[in-house]
A = this chain, B = another copy of it.
Amino acid sequence: MQPINLAAKLAQFSTHWDPHVVAGYNDNEVMVVKFQGEFPFHLHEDTDDFFLVLEGEMAMDLENESHPVKTGELFIVPKGVTHRPRAERECKVLLIEPKGEPNTGDPATAAPKPRI
């Protein structure tokens, strides 16, 4: 049991769309991730998707709308809703998903989510 400094964890990697697990909360993985560019549209059939912007700005594109999400803002995508995170410039995000949930919604294309 130790405090986890999110900026220090984010400084350990430079890749984009590459979530790194920093803690567990019940059956969820708490991750930090850097976004830049466009992620594919996808959905999670069985879970909501939790995004908190720690630094920078992202857009959350939905099928018929798009929302800017700025530093200090939270966006929760309900389960089953198609979405695409996007960021013109690098954006640092706290992400929460259930353990083992593929970040793309599809195990075939998912990132490995290493623990740091």
Q: Give A contacts to B, CB under 8 Å.
A: 1-7, 22-26, 30, 47-48, 50, 52, 54, 60, 62, 65, 67-70, 72-79, 81, 94, 96, 98
Within the complex, the shortest CB–CB distance from A25 to chain B, in Å, comes to 5
Partner among B4, B23, B78, B96 whose Cβ is within 8 Å of the Cβ of A1: B78
Contact between chains at A3 and B74 (CB < 8 Å): yes
A interface, by DSSP: helix, strand, loop or mixed? strand
Chain copies in complex? 2
Knowing A1-B67, A47-B26, A67-B2, the reply to whether A72 touches B96 (Cβ < 8 A) is no
What is the bound-complex CA distance between A14 and B3, given in angstroms?
26
- Contact residues in B for A7 (Cβ distance below 8 Å): 72
Residue of B nearest to A26 (CB): B48
Can you report 30 residue pairs joining A to B where beta carbons are below 8 Å apart? A1-B65, A1-B75, A1-B76, A1-B77, A1-B78, A1-B81, A2-B67, A2-B75, A3-B60, A3-B68, A3-B69, A3-B70, A3-B73, A3-B74, A4-B73, A4-B74, A4-B76, A5-B73, A6-B73, A7-B72, A23-B74, A23-B76, A24-B48, A25-B48, A25-B50, A26-B48, A26-B79, A30-B50, A30-B76, A54-B72
